[in-house]
Amino acid sequence: MRFKDIPGLHEIKERLIMTVRENRISHAQLFYGEEGSAALAMALAYAQYITCRNRQENDSCGTCSSCIKSDELIHPDILFSYPVVKSGASSKDVRSVSQIDKWRELVLRNPYFGPGQWYEQLGVEKKQGMIYTEESDEIIRKISLKSFESEYKVLIQWLPEKMHINAANKLLKSIEEPPDKTVFLFVSIDPDQILPTIRSRCQALKIPKIDDESLKNFLRKNFSLTEDEMERMVRWAGGNMQELLRLSGTKEDENEFLALFIYWMRISYALNMPELATWIDEVAAMGREKQKAFLKYVLKILRENLMLHLMPAQPSIIRMTKMEYDFSKKFSAFIHPGNIDALYTLLSKAYDHISGNAYGKLVFMDVSLQINKLLKK
């Protein structure tokens, strides 16, 4: 990742670049910012700049062998550490490296993710991760080795606030007296939770929100959107890159699901039986997993429609894409406190039935008839 890949934040970039050019890279640094900030992205760009073999005045070159490895998160001198989840006896290895493939995949897809997305990526949404003592042993072992290719060895630790107290204490000594040419980059969303003895040894840098104009430029470069669309997405995102990416990049499935959903609501409301039968055939043909994903999507859209219904003047709280929003502006009139509980229960039960191998066509027919009644409430 290069500095230029991160929208805005010119002062921060300039400051980091100067530390390298003036040869005063601090050996322990803490980048912190709210969830959705560019803190991790900035650490990646900084590490790449530090290790680049052909540094430019304002950025890494992007083409040297070191940059290519940094870009793919496989540089042997850039180490990653992050919380993992101990899930039963099957996962004895609690070092971060045991989850490196999942880490790389997520970081490459979106370096602005938060803990929720990481745990989802690990397949353990309901658990909290931790950085265990074994991980500190691993870090200490790795930084004691000579660097492979670069002058510096860089450790990027995401969420040091998740370090177990023993892990933190173990690492403390290395932070106090690090091996030569070793840089610790800690990336935090909750710096107050970091062990004070560690925090106080780091040079802290707050990564602020990205300004609206830079976000708009980012959208202009990467997506084909109208000025109005960009304007609204940027306003909704409120400087949060994670949110901006979510709003701008709708997954293929979601477009299909939205079209299915709009049509379903229309024919259920009108109780158009022939079209309903055709629609149900189409949904039945999708297969069970996709039907479940569709029902989950419907639950999400209904929840957002309720929010829109209750707080139409506060679009910033609504988590919808532009297409969803355009439809929901009118549809949200039908979703209100008088029917949301029943709709939720109805669709959650349908989800359970489909999961439990019920006959899809019957489930969807029954749900459609109930929706007809509930929308007219």
Contact residues for Zn ion (CB under 5 A)? 52, 54, 60-61, 64, 67
For the purposes of burial, counting CB atoms within 10 Å of the CB of 345, is it exposed (0-12), middle (13-18) or buried (19 or more)? exposed
Task: Tell the smallest beta-carbon distance from residue 42 to Zn ion (Å).
Answer: 17
In 83-233, the DSSP E strands lie at 153-158, 182-188, 203-206
Locate tokens 């892990």: which residue? 167
Lookup: tokens for 190: 């909750």
For Zn ion, which is the closer residue by CB, 26 or 54? 54
157 burial level (CB within 10 Å; 0-12, 13-18, 19+)? buried
d(CA 269, CA 38) in angstroms, rounded, equals 44
Report the candidate in 129, 119, 136, 130 with the shortest Cα–Cα distance to residue 198: 136
The contacts of residue 218 (CB under 8 Å, 6+ apart) are 7, 244
Q: Which residues contact 276 (CB under 8 A, 6 or more apart)?
A: 267, 268, 365, 368
CB of 57 to Zn ion, least distance (A): 13
Provide the CB-side half-sphere exposure for 347 (13 A, CA): 21
Q: Are 197 and 172 in contact (CB under 8 A)?
A: yes
For Zn ion, give the closer residue by CB, 156 or 265. 156
Looking at beta carbons only, is 2 or 216 nearer to Zn ion?
Answer: 2
Nearer to Zn ion, 27 or 75 (CB): 75
What's the length of the chain?
A: 377
In the bound complex, what is the minimum distance in angstroms from residue 11's beta carbon to Zn ion?
A: 23
CB of 77 vs Zn ion, minimal distance in Å: 13
Taking the complex as a whole, how short is the minimal distance between the CB of residue 375 and Zn ion, in angstroms?
58
Pick 40 or 67: Cβ nearer Zn ion = 67
CB of 68 to Zn ion, least distance (A): 8
Judged by CB, which is closer to Zn ion: 77, or 304?
Answer: 77
Interior angle at CA 235, CA 241 and CA 324, nearest 5: 85
Question: For Zn ion, which is the closer residue by CB, 152 or 344?
Answer: 152
3-state helix, strand, coil in the chain (%, to 5): 60, 10, 35
Instruction: Evaluate whether 206 touches 198 at the Cβ level (below 8 Å).
Output: no
State which residue, 57 or 192, has the beta carbon closest to Zn ion: 57
Q: What is the rounded distance in angstroms from the CA atom of residue 323 to the CA atom of residue 188?
A: 34
Instruction: Give me the least distance between CB of 2 and Zn ion, in Å please.
Output: 9
Regarding beta strands 78-81 and 28-32, do their DSSP bridges make them parallel or antiparallel, or are they unpaired? unpaired
What is the smallest separation between the CB atom of 48 and Zn ion, expressed in angstroms? 7
CB of 156 to Zn ion, least distance (A): 17
Beta bridge partners of 186: 30, 157
- For Zn ion, the closer of residues 1 and 30 by Cβ is 1
Q: Shortest approach of Zn ion to residue 63 CB, angstroms? A: 6
Pick 68 or 273: Cβ nearer Zn ion: 68
